[in-house]
Structure 1
């Protein structure tokens, strides 16, 4: 069973260890020191930022991280997408990773994305869509989005998380289902 809860400061050592894993570091390109994790995830963990940083569990065991936010709360993200696709302020963005390398390639990412998409319609009742930009080179990530039911709706250049990557990105979208579905 997939579940999640808000990330807490007590989770930072685990998060740091995941950020240091080669399969995560490749795409997130994030410092994994205790100070960097506290700096970059602390405000959300304390409820001082409007994003959801969520620790993901599989059958009660922590396995990854989900970040969820409204584009209206981070206008710089919407502005970067503007040349590629118009994004409503109420649309939601997702970012994610599976931390345990033993769980990669088994469909868990797709299950997590499917679960958070379904929950987002309830948690963000004004969200018309979920819009996720992903590096075109990150095949595993965009394939998980596709398998979870998101559609590729645009392509364009954006600043990559990892400066080693080129600027090519795909943009995926899930549109809120009609009421009653």
Structure 2
């Protein structure tokens, strides 16, 4: 069973371990020192930041991380997306990772994204859609989104998370399910 909880400071060593794993580091390109993890995840853990960092737990065991936020809480990203598409006022986005490489390629990530979306719709009744840009070369990530029901709606030129990448991104979207 997949459950969710907000990241707390006691999770920071686990996040550092996951962020250092080669399959995550390639796409997240994140510093993994204790100071860097505190700097980047501490404000969310203390609820000082409008985004939410959530741990996915499978049968009580940490599986991965999902970050979610409303696009318009980060106007610089809305401006960057503007040449490609208009972002609706109550659109959200997610970012995600599977922590252990042994869990990659087994369908667990698709389950995590589906569960994350169900959780998002339940907790954010005002969210109208989820829009997720993914680097075009991150095939596993965008295939996971497709399997979870998101649809590719655009191609965008966006700043990559990893400076070794070019600006090519696929943009995926799913609208709130109707009753």
TM-score tier (shorter): over 0.9
Runs of 4 or more, structure 1, over 3 Å off, are: none
Q: Tell me the matched-pair count.
A: 179
Q: State the 1:147 CA deviation.
A: 0.1
In the alignment, structure 2 segments of 5+ residues that lack a partner are: none
Q: State the 1:90 CA deviation.
A: 1.1
What residue number does 1:52 align with? 52
Q: How does 1:11-50 map to 2 (within 5 A)?
A: 11-50=11-50
Q: State the 1:120 CA deviation.
A: 1.5
Give the whole-Å Cα distance in 1 for the aligned partners of 2:85 and 2:5. Answer: 31
1:153 aligns with 2:153: yes
Over aligned residues, Cα RMSD in angstroms?
0.8
Give the TM-score taking structure 1 as reference length: 0.97
What residue number does 1:110 align with? 110
Give the whole-Å Cα distance in 2 for the aligned partners of 1:123 and 1:85. Answer: 26
Give the whole-Å Cα distance in 1 for the aligned partners of 2:117 and 2:77. Answer: 19
What residue number does 1:73 align with? 73
Q: How does 1:84-163 map to 2 (within 5 A)?
A: 84-163=84-163
Give the whole-Å Cα distance in 1 for the aligned partners of 2:7 and 2:119. Answer: 17
In the alignment, structure 1 segments of 5+ residues that lack a partner are: none
Q: State the 1:119 CA deviation.
A: 1.7
Give the whole-Å Cα distance in 1 for the aligned partners of 2:23 and 2:57. Answer: 19
Deviation string 1:99-148 (CA, Å, 9 cap, x unpaired) is 11111100111101111111212211111100000000000000000000
SS in 2 for 1:116: helix
Q: State the 1:89 CA deviation.
A: 2.5
Give the whole-Å Cα distance in 1 for the aligned partners of 2:92 and 2:82. Answer: 15
Give the TM-score taking structure 2 as reference length: 0.98
What residue number does 2:165 align with? 165
Q: State the 1:61 CA deviation.
A: 0.3
